[in-house]
A and B are shown apart, each in its own frame.
Chain A
């Protein structure tokens, strides 16, 4: 499944990252400790985080994650959107909880 397809299943919106909508999602990773994510998240994972500041973009890009998912209707900061556009990192915003995101991903074969 790619980023656009997952976003649709989550009833989400892709906030930025036009060029990365086709990127394949190889798994889900959920954690809010940035160094922990860089140590453990597998390449190609979609990353669920409640952080909305600009540093999450670098973490996603450096760890080669497929996209960032902001649960519970969290909105990204303006600087985050700009940086994500520049680095071509897709951000999906959804009203669902992290748990629901994982369940839907699982039900769809991720």
Chain B
């Protein structure tokens, strides 16, 4: 923590919805311990959860890297899945390619990416068909 940043790393298992969301839950607990404002915690935790679930159900799993410090929570979720061919379309509410199996579990409303957009202070997505997807979420919190 020489640069004053707390860094966390989590592996995100592929196609296993039983453990999906574990990384987000852990990060949420760390943010609570750090005494960050509940409003910022919710913004970070919900947007990370949506990106984590997407990496599980669409991206064949991946990894999450988090940096916290200097008034900024930075979350990067990266997978080596199929990528998103049309990002503009994917960002629209209600658009989804989720399988029937995950839809039966309540996923696939096509609201995940729009939720991230709404809750994050900054959102950057890098995606390439056949290579994978990198979702970078920033949430700012008042520095105390």
Instruction: Identify the A interface with B (CB < 8 A).
Output: 32-36, 38-39, 49, 51, 53-56, 58, 61-64, 79, 87
Contacts and interface: CB of A to CB of B under 8 A. Distances in A.
B25 A39 contact: no
Given A58-B21, A62-B28, A35 B111 contact: yes
A87 B22 CA distance: 11
Interface of B: 17-18, 20-21, 24-25, 28, 38, 42, 45-46, 49-50, 105-112, 114-115, 118
* Nearest 9 Cβ contacts at the A-B interface: A35-B111, A33-B109, A58-B21, A34-B106, A35-B109, A36-B109, A35-B112, A62-B45, A39-B115
A35 B20 contact: no
Interface of B is mostly: helix
B21 to A, nearest CB: 4
Nearest to B28: A62
A62 B24 contact: yes
Given A55-B20, A62-B46, 17 more contacts: A32-B106, A33-B109, A33-B111, A34-B105, A34-B106, A35-B107, A35-B110, A35-B112, A36-B109, A38-B46, A54-B17, A58-B20, A62-B28, A62-B45, A63-B46, A64-B38, A64-B42
